[in-house]
Amino acid sequence: MSEYEELDARLRTWLAEDEMWAREASRFSAENSPERGWVVPEQIPGGMHWRWAYGENWDAFTPDVSISPILNEVPEPDEWHHVTLTSVETWEWRLESGGVSLMPERIIGDSDRVPTAAAGHIQRHDPAAVLADIAGKRALLDALAQNVKRHDSDDRGYAAAMDAWELALTHLAAAYVERPGFKDAWRIHD
């Protein structure tokens, strides 16, 4: 196995690990189980979308570091509201009164203090975004590997196809430099 074939295999392993975590983060929490009145799927296939919300209507709120360095409350005229990281998706929740309400999944509760910059980052890297990113990276890896296979090693296009594949592998792997098994030879060198 060549160095780049090994990197391709390792990168696909890391992507699979990231996919597993994003899918797990898209599961409904045990706290909101059917036994407690929730009607929920086991998992959201494309990944759960997250947003910061506040108030009884779960109004969306975009973190802004110019308002406060800590995201735990939203200022409104004459009052402050606690902020919660919730799913965009909602599910039925059977009320004790017999009625049904649509509720999002709560990811981070309203009593937690989260740095605003971290809050913005969390929202932008929700499970759905991570799963879409992984799918795009896999498609790129597959296309580049297929392009290499189309050429014989003595073909004029082979060198260019290999260069493109190796360049993509190295740059995609840069995000995994701290993972176990990452080799110094895979680092991007200026």
Average pLDDT across the chain, whole number: 86
How many other C-beta atoms lie within 10 A of the C-beta of residue 23? 17
- 117 and 160 fall within a common domain: no
**End-to-end Cα distance, the chain:** 26
Assess if residue 30 is contained within a domain: no
Let me know if residue 75 belongs to a domain: yes
Instruction: Answer yes or no: do 148 and 178 share one domain.
Output: yes
**Pair (117, 136) in one structural domain:** no
In a domain, 45, yes or no: no
pLDDT of residue 73: 65
- The residue range of the domain holding 66 is 50-122
pTM of the model: 0.86
Domain boundary (122, 140, 166) is at: 122
Q: How far apart are CA 24 and CA 131, in angstroms?
A: 11
Is residue 158 a part of any domain in this protein? yes
pLDDT at 107: 84
Total domains, the chain? 2
H helix or E strand, kind and range, residue 122: helix 116-124
Q: What is the largest CA-CA distance in the chain?
A: 75
Q: Is residue 38 domain-resident?
A: no
Closest by alpha carbon to 167, among 128, 140, 149, 146? 140
Containing 79, the helix (H) or strand (E) segment is: strand 79-94
pLDDT in tens, 65-97: 888 888 766 666 566 677 889 999 888 777 778
Q: What is the pLDDT of residues 100-146, one digit of tens each?
A: 888 888 888 765 678 889 999 999 999 999 999 999 999 999 999 99
Q: Residue 38: which of 98, 103, 85 has the closest Cα?
A: 103
Do 159 and 112 lie in one domain? The reply is no
Q: Does residue 62 lie within any of the structural domains?
A: yes
Mean pLDDT is lowest, of 32-46, 53-67, 173-187, for 32-46
Shared domain for 118 and 141, answered yes or no, is no
